[in-house]
Copies of this chain bind each other. A is one copy, B any other.
C-alpha cells in the first residue's frame, strides 16, 4: 500500500514463521533482507512492474549494490511485522531507498539500500524510463523540477 503524504511510504505486512527464526529464538539477521526484498517487489508490483516481466521484456534487473542495516530490537516467532519502504532518490542507473522493519510503533531494523539497474551481462545500465518515472513520482519530496 502506497500512502500519500509528505513522504510517500509503502507498507507491507510480514508474519514471522519458524523458517525465519534461529536457535537464539529470534529472527535470523539475514532474513530481514528477505523481508525487505519482498517489500520492494510489492512496491514495484503496485507501480505496475513485475521483476520477471522486467527481466523478460527489458533484459534488466534491479540488483542490490549496497545495503546498510541497523539491528535495534529482535523480532520473534509469530510477530506481526510491517516493512515500510521509502524511495529517497532516483539517479540515472541507481535508486536509493530506506526500509524499516517495524512491530507496532517500534523500529526493529533500519536499512538503507542502493539498487542498481543491471543488464543480463551484469553491467550497469540506465533504468527503464517507465520504472524511473514512477520511482521519481513516489520519491521523497515528489518529482524534482
Contacts and interface: CB of A to CB of B under 8 A. Distances in A.
Interface of A: 15, 17-19, 21-26, 28-31, 33-34, 37-38, 41, 50-53, 55, 61, 63-71, 73-74, 76-78, 122
A37 B31 CA distance: 13
Contacts of A37: 17-19, 29-30
Main secondary structure of the interface of A (DSSP, over half): mixed
A114 to B, nearest CB: 9
Given A19-B38, A23-B76, A66-B70, 19 more contacts: A17-B41, A18-B24, A18-B28, A19-B28, A19-B30, A19-B34, A21-B22, A21-B23, A22-B22, A22-B23, A23-B77, A26-B122, A29-B63, A50-B78, A52-B77, A65-B70, A65-B71, A67-B69, A74-B122
A49 to B, nearest CB: 10
Given A23-B21, A30-B33, A33-B30, A51 B66 contact: no
Contacts of A73: 122
Given A23-B76, A77-B23, A68 B71 contact: no
A24 B116 CA distance: 14
Nearest to A39: B17
Nearest to A70: B66
Nearest to A53: B78
A138 to B, nearest CB: 21
A122 B30 CA distance: 18
